[in-house]
Amino acid sequence: MKNTDECKFISSKFPIGYNYSENNSLFFFQQIRFKTMRLLFFISLIILFAACKKDNTTAQTAPSYKIATVSEIGNSVNANYTFSYDDSGRISQIVSIGLDPFTKTFSYKGDTIYVTIHEGAHASNAIITLNSFKLISTRNITFQQSVNDVSYNYDASGQIVSLTAQAGSYTYPAITYTTTNGDITNTTSQGVSDTTTYFTEKTSVIGNLDDFYQLLTYGAFYYRNKHLKKSYESGSNKTDYSYSFDSEGKIISVVTSYNLGAAPYTTNFTYTKQ
């Protein structure tokens, strides 16, 4: 950063004092010297003005956006969600109206997230812990009299490798994940594998469904795909995804369609600046 006094100095008169007389034999030499120094002075002014301008200009950064509202319409789906955030930009509340109304609140302590679903007889609580990658490490869910524990396992680079879950004494079959070029391409459980393809030319941005559903459920992530999902295949079922974007590149709608006759539905997003 340039010194403030140095920046102010450029507005004062440059202290050049040339006392000469036309009768002085050094007159012409001093004229040349004066013009040379005057040129150097103006060059220094330009450089100093540029430095001061650069140092006093606040860097312009792109605004950060958060999901404000989401609506899901079509295929017997009618849901609307409103997201609220705390002063740190973390989700503090999600309110759902429509076919499945609920209010979900989030609170935080270090790397632990406390989630409460206020849904009458279906009320539940979850405690989520994050690892050093700030991804979900464990999730403990209490629903009525049952307690479920879910563990997430990662490789050294922070990519999800497997998920295990237990309810009381019962252990669910593990789910394993295959990641290719930063995207989960296969999930396998009990020998059955599902396949996901991606638009490799489209970088994942806010409004992608993978991120949305994780935030809706957990308020955090256990994976972050690098690209936008193109299709998902499970057995004979195939789901395709198409996207619309606003002028800033944010997703404003996703159309989910199916190959077996089910009607498509659209997920619409609005955003708030943080």
Q: How much is the average pLDDT of 5-13?
A: 35
Same domain, 104 and 169: yes
Q: HSE, CB side, 13 Å, CA atoms: give it for residue 59.
A: 2
pLDDT band at 147 (very low <50, low <70, confident <90, very high): very high
Write down the pLDDT at residue 16: 33
**Is 89 part of any domain?**
yes
Write down the pLDDT at residue 161: 98
Q: Using one digit for the tens of pLDDT, what is the confidence trace for 189-231?
A: 999 999 999 999 999 999 999 999 999 999 999 999 999 999 9
Residue 36 has pLDDT above 70, yes or no: no
**Is 193 part of any domain?**
yes
**Is 231 part of any domain?**
yes
Q: How much is the average pLDDT of 151-161?
A: 97
Question: What range defines the domain where residue 175 resides?
Answer: 65-273
How many CB atoms are closer than 10 A to CB 143? 14
Same domain, 40 and 123: no
Hey, which of 22-26, 44-48, 95-99 has the most confident mean pLDDT?
95-99
Q: HSE, CB side, 13 Å, CA atoms: give it for residue 199.
A: 13
Same domain, 139 and 25: no
Same domain, 80 and 180: yes
Same domain, 143 and 206: yes
Same domain, 141 and 21: no
Same domain, 46 and 83: no
Which amino acid, one-letter code, is at 189?
S
- Lowest mean pLDDT of 15-29, 77-91, 120-134, name the range: 15-29
Question: Domain tally for the chain?
Answer: 2
**Is 60 part of any domain?**
no
pLDDT band at 20 (very low <50, low <70, confident <90, very high): very low
Same domain, 129 and 235: yes
* Cα(210)–Cα(228) distance, integer angstroms: 9
**Percentage of the residues of the chain whose pLDDT score is greater than 70:** 77
